[in-house]
Structure formats: C-alpha cells, structure tokens
Amino acid sequence: MQTLASSPSAPVGFLREDGSVDAAHAAVLSDELAVALYEHMVLTRAVDGRLVELQREGAIASHASARGEEAAIVGAAAAMHDHDWIFPSSRELGAALWRGMPLVAYAHHAFGTARDPGRGRNAPDPPFWKAARVASVSPLTGTQIPHAVGAAWAARIEKADVAALVFFGEGATSSGDFHNGLNFAGVTRAPVVAVCRNNGWATSTPASRQTGSVGFAIKAVAYGLRGVRVDGADVVAVLSVVREARARAAAGLGGTLIEAVVPRTEGTGPAEATDPVARTRRHLETRGLWDAAREQRLAAEVHADVERAIAEAAAAEKPARETMFDDVYAELPWHLKEQRGPAR
Amino acid sequence: MTQMNMVQAINDGLRHEMRRDPRVIVLGEDVGKVGGVFRVTQGLWDEFGDDRVVDTPLSEGGIVGTAIGMALYGLLPVPEIQFSDFIYPAYDQIVSELAKLRWRSGGEYPAKMVLRTPVGGGIRGGLYHSQSPESLFIHVAGLKVVCPSNPHDAKGLLLASIRDPDPVLFFEPKRIYRASKGEVPEGDYTVPLGKAAVIRPGKDVTVLAWGAMLYEAIAAADEARKHGVECEIVDLRTLWPVDIETVIESVEKTGRVVVVHEAPKTCGFGAELIALVNEKAFLHLEAPPARVCGYDTPFPYTLEMDYLPLAHRILPVVLATAKY
C-alpha cells in the first residue's frame, strides 16, 4: 500500500546562502535578465512600501503588499513568453510592471483617477494591462483560476503557442474555483501554470486551517497535473521551475501546480536570510554584476520614478459622475440613460 | 421556410452560427455525442468535433468560469447549463465576473458569451428541474436576459444574442420545446434584442407574458373574449433590457395591465414591470396592475399544475382588472 508522506517534499532551491548557485544552474539566467529581475523586484518593493504608507494615510483605500513574494511574482512572470496570458490575484503588481505596465498607469489605478485603465471602478488592487495580456480579475478568492484555464484551453483549441499563468495565495486552494479550474485543466490538458504563493497564512488563518494535506503542491496529483514545490524567495529556482512548466504545457504534457513557499512578513519585512530581494542582490554580487554604487543609483532612480508617478496620480482628476454608467453594456440602454440623466 | 419545433430551431441556429463563425464553441454537460438531455445540440459534435462541441466535467462553476477565459482569449462560447435549476454553482462566476468584466476593465476586457439554459415547469421535473430564476439575473447590472416563446423567435433571438456584444442569459422554456411548432426561415435572420412583440392587439387589458406562459395568457384571452373583454397580449421576448416603449404604449392604450410569470411572485420580474408602469403610465391606469405568478413556495413536483399560473388562474384576474 502506498502511503502519503507526512511532510511535504523539500522545495526546489538553487540559490545558496552566499548568493551563489551551482555552475549547472548559473545558465538559467543571463546577466542581463538577472539584473532586470532584480531591478523589477526593487521597484515592486518600493511601490509596495509607498502604497502601504498612502493607505495608512488614507490617500488610497487599500493595497495588497507583495513584500517577500517579489521573486515568486516577478520570476514567474519572466519565465513566460510575452504573448502568454497572466491572471494575477491581488498582489501581482510586479508581474504587470514586468510586462510593461507603466508605473504611472498603476498609480492612476491606485488613486482611482480618470486615467486609471479601470476608470476608478475597482478598489486597488490588482491592476490589469490589456496591451500585455495581464487580465482583469476580481479580488474574490480563486475565481480567476478557471479563467486562466479557459484562456489556456482556448489557445489549445486554436493551436496557438500560448499558455496562461495564474497566481493565487494558498487560501484560494480552499475555494470551489480552485477545484473547478484545476479539474478542467486536468481534463482538457490546457497549457496552464498555476502558481500558489504559500506564506503559511491567509490574513489571520494558518495554512493548517486551509488544508489537511501535506502542503499544496500534492493537490495537483489528483487532478492529473504535475505538482512542484519551489523556494519562492529563490528567483533562479522560480524562473527555472516555471519555465519548465511552461515548456511542458506547450508540449501538450498538461498543466503544473507550483507551490511557491514564501516567507511571511509583518511590517518590517522578511529577515535578510529569507528576503528574496536581498538574496537576488547577493546573487548579482557573486556574479560581479552589482556593487554599492549601482545599488545607490537604482534606489535613487526608483525613488524618483515612484514619487513622480504618485504625484501625478494624486493630482489627477477623478472620473466624472456620468462615466459610472459607461461600460455596463456596450451601448447605454434606456434605463441607464434615464438614471444617468441628460449628458452634460 | 421549414416547419420546426423549438429544439430544432435552436439547433438550426447553433449550427448556422457555428458554420458562420469559427469562434463559436458549445460546451456543457452531455452536449456532445448525445446532443444534450433535450437534444438541442444533437448532431453538432458530428459536424464540428471535439474542440468545438465539448462534453465538460459536471461542474457549472467550471463551465462558466472556463468559458469566461475562452471569451477573454477571443473565442465565443455558448455554454449550456443543463437545467436553469443547476445554474447556482455558477452564480458567482456569472454575477461577480461575467457581468462585471466590461465595466471593471473600463471596456477593455468584455467577456462575451451566450448562456443557454432550459427554464420553467410543467414537465414533471419537480423542485430541481422546473425553476424560473430570470429575475436573479435581471437584477445584475451587465447581463441581458432573453426568453423566446416560439421556434421562429428562438432561432432569431439566438443569432441576435450570439452577435450582441454583451453577455446574454438565454432561457429556453422547456415545456414548449417540442409543443411549440412553426415556420422557421432557413439560413440567416435575427430577431432583435430589446423588442417585444404585440402578438394580439386588444383594447381592454394589456397582458405581459413570455416563454411557456404566453400560451396560458392566450388561452385566458380566448376565454375573456367570450366575456366581451379584448386582451392585448405582449410577448416580451427580451426580458432585460425590456422594451419599455411597447409596454407603456400598450398600457396607455388599455389603461389596465396583468403580468403573468412562472417565477415566484415576490420580487419576480412582474414587480419591476408594474413599478415601471406606475412610474411611466400612472395617470393612464384605470385599474390596479395585477400579477398572476408562481407562488412564493419552492416548485412542487406533484402539484406543479396547481403552482403554475395557468389560464384558469389568469382569466379571473383579467376579467376583474377589465371590470374594475
């Protein structure tokens, strides 16, 4: 009789404590990509930090921070192809920025201005960015998982080399839509990569209250998918694991559920040893790609960019009252015309 | 023109549109090889194959959820929910996602689909195969709701629904799937959304109905005529956005209105229709607007004909309204 393990398998990890990797894994990312990933992780963290402040000041209503999860988010996004779909959950600002969403567009979203792509209708976050196939998702738990599977399934039907990446926290594995989505993924062999960010906690509830199973990756098995645990603070491992999942999906071998184990952060952020940003920086240093001067320059640039974007969005006009009635339907029906009143 | 029943007309419409538009995908429980439990999709799998006519897992939330992803990608899914009583597991996907995608994305990510589902009672289906949940969807901003009453309209409204840019709930009155027969044009035509049909002009009482209950309204009107009361019967066809002009024009003419529907009375669509009549035609009214509806109980198996607002229940309300 086969018995299930009593503890989950060790997560895949490549980065050593000193920032080095085995020679075999060094080729996972080029110098250029390594630097770009780090810069986006730093940018994401800076935006996060500033938005948490703005939320506390009451300037914006909400912000879902990705502190400690930057490698899992930016690394996974970078592993996909440019024309692949990304279905974020609430914390994937970094994925949208990686895909080219301008920082200022995100700031307009956070402030709900007239220039928000979503026209100030959805409280922050997550953002969407149509030009780069970053989908519009709701903040509801897990509902985007079947959407990602459906988009991937459509790509399979169309015989296009397109896959879908979907993010969610471990709390979403308790939702019906996690089951619906992954069950359909297994049946249809849709080319989907599902990344579950597991920091051990959903708001105030520990992972042990979400599942009786040993970890989350193992849930893939019953759906006919592949399950992988990865150190979500190890950008080299995330990139490698998601790339492999993407390649398998595109080859018709089915989807993968990736459990990215990420450090839990409270206020001050993760400890240096588990901090994905610090670990990535140490990796750049071991490759001779980074030093204190570059760090200083990046910090100054990021600070200036973030402040400029926030200043613009904070000063921007809010949407006009009449815009509320647009986009409910493609054309304004009689009852909404009545409720809107005469156009001014 | 060919003589068809509603099942054949909807099947003909689906086939026509699938030939015309390669984006159209039919998916649902048992819709493939067997052609659906009511055979509405019969033969489509043979012609269009596994990729375009898909037997799905038994999960309405999964059907609608994945169909949303397909729609975002650029396909045009036409999912079938086997009975509208089974639609509630998909309610979150329909209400929170499908209906709101265009709005929340500033118009950039509309998710277009037509959700077909058999509706209503009178087929000995009992509690879980007989419900009429239309008002639960009319209440949700962003959805259009359609319910045809005959084969001609069923095909024409289906083609219009598939070509409409907004998500459409397409309720098929299963009691008259085979009982309603008529001439159906071959090939392409549409019946526009948002346009009701005055199927019988009359000067005394306006009767608003749709789907299977239209025939009960007609039977009641035939009886009322023997009492000297001429009913104007309006088949709404599109429930939302309702054809308010036709409704108000008729009520202004007759000064009296009776709404007939199978769904429970309280907060049923009749409540909204009467509120609209009161707002827009109050001074034309000669009698209190009336409703003949399903009761505010769950739908009964054995007593279904007592539950349904059949002609014998409509007639006295029409006569009382006419003589008020």
Cβ-contact A66, A194 below 8 angstroms:
no
Q: Does the beta-carbon distance from A157 to B61 stay under 8 Å? A: no
Residues of B with CB under 8 A from a CB of A: 25, 51-52, 56-57, 59, 61-62, 64-75, 89, 92-93, 96-97, 100-110, 141-142, 144, 164-166, 194, 241, 244
How large is the average pLDDT for residues B105-123? 97
Q: Which of A85, A134, A138, A157 has the highest number of chain B CBs within 10 A, making it the mutation to test binding with B?
A: A157
Number of domains comprising chain A:
1
Cβ-contact B76, B112 below 8 angstroms:
yes
Q: Does the beta-carbon distance from B73 to A151 stay under 8 Å? A: yes
Confidence of residue B136 (pLDDT cuts 50, 70, 90): very high
Considering only CB atoms, which chain B residues are within 8 Å of A113?
Answer: none
How large is the average pLDDT for residues B170-193? 97
Closest CA to A262 of A236, A243, A234, A285: A234
Place of tokens 């001609």: B152
ipTM: 0.96
How large is the average pLDDT for residues B194-202? 98
Considering only CB atoms, which chain A residues are within 8 Å of B53?
Answer: none
**Residue B190 within any structural domain of the chain:** no
pLDDT over 90 at B260, yes or no: yes
**Is residue B113 domain-shared with residue B216, that is, in the same domain?**
no
pLDDT over 90 at A164, yes or no: yes
Number of domains comprising chain B:
2
The percent of residues in chain A predicted with pLDDT above 90, rounded, is 85
**Residue A144 within any structural domain of the chain:** yes
**Residue A6 within any structural domain of the chain:** no
Q: Does the beta-carbon distance from B106 to A152 stay under 8 Å? A: no
How large is the average pLDDT for residues B287-301? 98
**Is residue B161 domain-shared with residue B235, that is, in the same domain?**
no
Q: Does the beta-carbon distance from B89 to A181 stay under 8 Å? A: no
Of the residues B131, B162, B184, the one at which a domain ends: B184
Q: Which tens digits make up the pLDDT trace of B32-63?
A: 999 999 999 999 999 999 999 999 999 999 99
Check residue B93 and report its DSSP letter: I
Verify cis geometry, omega within 30 degrees of 0, for the bond prior to B235.
no
Nearest CA in chain A to B106: A118
**Residue A178 within any structural domain of the chain:** yes
Q: Does the beta-carbon distance from A143 to B93 stay under 8 Å? A: yes
Q: Which has the minimum average pLDDT: A3-12, A291-300, B110-119, B294-303?
A: A3-12
pLDDT given at position A210: 84
Exposed/middle/buried for B280, CB within 10 Å: 0-12, 13-18, 19+? middle
- Per residue, what are the HEC states of chain A? CCCCCCCCCCCECCCCCCCCCCHHHHCCCCHHHHHHHHHHHHHHHHHHHHHHHHHHHCCCCCCCCCCCCHHHHHHHHHHCCCCCEEECCCCCHHHHHHCCCCHHHHHHHHHCCCCCCCCCCCCCCCCCEHHHCECCCCCCCCCHHHHHHHHHHHHHHCCCCCCEEEEEEHHHHHCHHHHHHHHHHHHHCCCEEEEEEECCEECCEEHHHCCCCCCCCCHHHHHCCEEEEEECCCHHHHHHHHHHHHHHHHCCCCCEEEEEECCCCCCCCCCHHHCHHHHHHHHHHHCCCCCHHHHHHHHHHHHHHHHHHHHHHHHCCCCCHHHHHCCCCCCCCHHHHHHHCCCC
Cβ-contact A259, A229 below 8 angstroms:
yes
Q: Which of B63, B73, B101, B139 has the highest number of chain A CBs within 10 A, making it the mutation to test binding with A?
A: B73
**Is residue B275 domain-shared with residue B312, that is, in the same domain?**
yes
Q: B129 catalytic, yes or no?
A: yes
Write out the residue range of the structural domain in which residue B116 sits: 2-184
Q: How far apart are CA B297 and CA B238, in angstroms?
A: 26
3-class DSSP assignment, residue B232: strand
Cβ-contact A28, A240 below 8 angstroms:
yes
How large is the average pLDDT for residues B245-271? 98
Distance from CA of B123 to the nearest CA of A (A): 31
**Is residue B219 domain-shared with residue B296, that is, in the same domain?**
yes
**Residue A185 within any structural domain of the chain:** yes
Considering only CB atoms, which chain A residues are within 8 Å of B73?
Answer: 85, 150-151, 154-155, 158, 162
- Kindly tell me the sign of the dihedral angle through the C-alpha atoms of A21, A216, B93, B49: positive
How large is the average pLDDT for residues A243-258? 97
- Mean pLDDT (chain A) is 94
**Is residue B154 domain-shared with residue B209, that is, in the same domain?**
no
**Residue A153 within any structural domain of the chain:** yes
**Residue B191 within any structural domain of the chain:** no
Nearest CA in chain A to B276: A335
Nearest CB neighbour to B109, from listed A128, A157, A177: A128
What CATH number is associated with residue A200?
3.40.50.970
Q: How far apart are CA B97 and CA A192, in angstroms?
A: 20
Give residue A87's identity as a one-letter amino acid code.
Answer: F
pLDDT given at position B318: 98
Nearest CB neighbour to B66, from listed A117, A184, A334: A184
Q: How far apart are CA B4 and CA B14, in angstroms?
A: 14
pLDDT over 90 at A8, yes or no: no
**Residue B189 within any structural domain of the chain:** no
User: DSSP string covering B44-77, please?
Assistant: HHHHH-TTTEEEPPS-HHHHHHHHHHHHHHT-EE
> Parallel, antiparallel, or unpaired: how do β-strands B238-240 and B144-146 relate?
antiparallel
Considering only CB atoms, which chain B residues are within 8 Å of A188?
Answer: 66
Nearest CB neighbour to B108, from listed A130, A146, A164: A130
Closest CA to A80 of A92, A68, A69: A92
Cβ-contact A64, A123 below 8 angstroms:
no
Q: Which of B21, B56, B68, B105 has the highest number of chain A CBs within 10 A, making it the mutation to test binding with A?
A: B105
3-class DSSP assignment, residue B112: coil
**Is residue B96 domain-shared with residue B122, that is, in the same domain?**
yes
Measured from the Cβ of residue A303, the count of other Cβ atoms closer than 10 Å reads 12
Residue B199 host element (H or E): strand B197-200
**Residue A235 within any structural domain of the chain:** yes
**Residue B259 within any structural domain of the chain:** yes
3-class DSSP assignment, residue B244: helix
pLDDT given at position B95: 98
Of the residues B160, B184, B208, the one at which a domain ends: B184
Q: What is the pTM of this model?
A: 0.97
> Parallel, antiparallel, or unpaired: how do β-strands B2-5 and B181-184 relate?
antiparallel
Choice among B16, B129, B152, B261 that is catalytic: B129
**Residue A285 within any structural domain of the chain:** yes
Nearest CA in chain A to B164: A330
Q: Which tens digits make up the pLDDT trace of A269-324?
A: 678 889 999 999 999 999 999 999 999 999 999 999 999 999 999 999 999 999 99
CA angle A310–A311–A316, rounded 5-degree value: 95
- Mean pLDDT (chain B) is 98
**Is residue B150 domain-shared with residue B202, that is, in the same domain?**
no
pLDDT over 80 at B66, yes or no: yes
Q: Does the beta-carbon distance from B65 to A147 stay under 8 Å? A: yes
3-class DSSP assignment, residue B230: coil
Q: How far apart are CA A341 and CA A332, in angstroms?
A: 12
Of the residues B184, B215, B246, the one at which a domain ends: B184
Q: Hey, which residues does A71 pair with through a beta bridge?
A: none
**Is residue B140 domain-shared with residue B277, that is, in the same domain?**
no
Q: Does the beta-carbon distance from A329 to B102 stay under 8 Å? A: yes
**Residue B192 within any structural domain of the chain:** no
pLDDT given at position A205: 83
Distance from CA of A155 to the nearest CA of B (A): 8
| Residue, of A25 and A233, whose pLDDT is higher | A233
Q: Does the beta-carbon distance from A184 to B62 stay under 8 Å? A: yes
Q: Does the beta-carbon distance from A334 to B25 stay under 8 Å? A: no
Measured from the Cβ of residue A159, the count of other Cβ atoms closer than 10 Å reads 8
Q: Which tens digits make up the pLDDT trace of A103-112?
A: 999 999 999 9
> Parallel, antiparallel, or unpaired: how do β-strands A192-198 and A256-261 relate?
parallel
pLDDT given at position A5: 66
3-class DSSP assignment, residue B91: helix
**Is residue B152 domain-shared with residue B230, that is, in the same domain?**
no
Q: How far apart are CA B144 and CA B149, in angstroms?
A: 17
What CATH number is associated with residue B237?
3.40.50.920
**Residue A3 within any structural domain of the chain:** no
Write out the residue range of the structural domain in which residue A57 sits: 23-340
Nearest CA in chain B to A116: B106
CA of B191: how far to CAs of A334, B154, B194, B217, B245, in Å?
Answer: 19, 8, 9, 22, 17
Q: Does the beta-carbon distance from A146 to B244 stay under 8 Å? A: no
The percent of residues in chain B predicted with pLDDT above 90, rounded, is 100
**Residue B174 within any structural domain of the chain:** yes
Q: Does the beta-carbon distance from A117 to B105 stay under 8 Å? A: yes
pLDDT over 80 at A2, yes or no: no
Q: Which tens digits make up the pLDDT trace of A103-158?
A: 999 999 999 999 999 999 999 988 999 999 999 999 999 999 999 999 999 999 99
**Is residue B67 domain-shared with residue B157, that is, in the same domain?**
yes
Within 8 A by CB and 6+ apart from A327, the residues are A119, B102, B103, B105, B106, B107
What CATH number is associated with residue B127?
3.40.50.970
Considering only CB atoms, which chain A residues are within 8 Å of B52?
Answer: 157
**Is residue B287 domain-shared with residue B165, that is, in the same domain?**
no
Within 8 A by CB and 6+ apart from B215, the residues are B149, B176, B180
**Is residue B124 domain-shared with residue B211, that is, in the same domain?**
no
Nearest CB neighbour to A118, from listed B57, B105, B241: B105
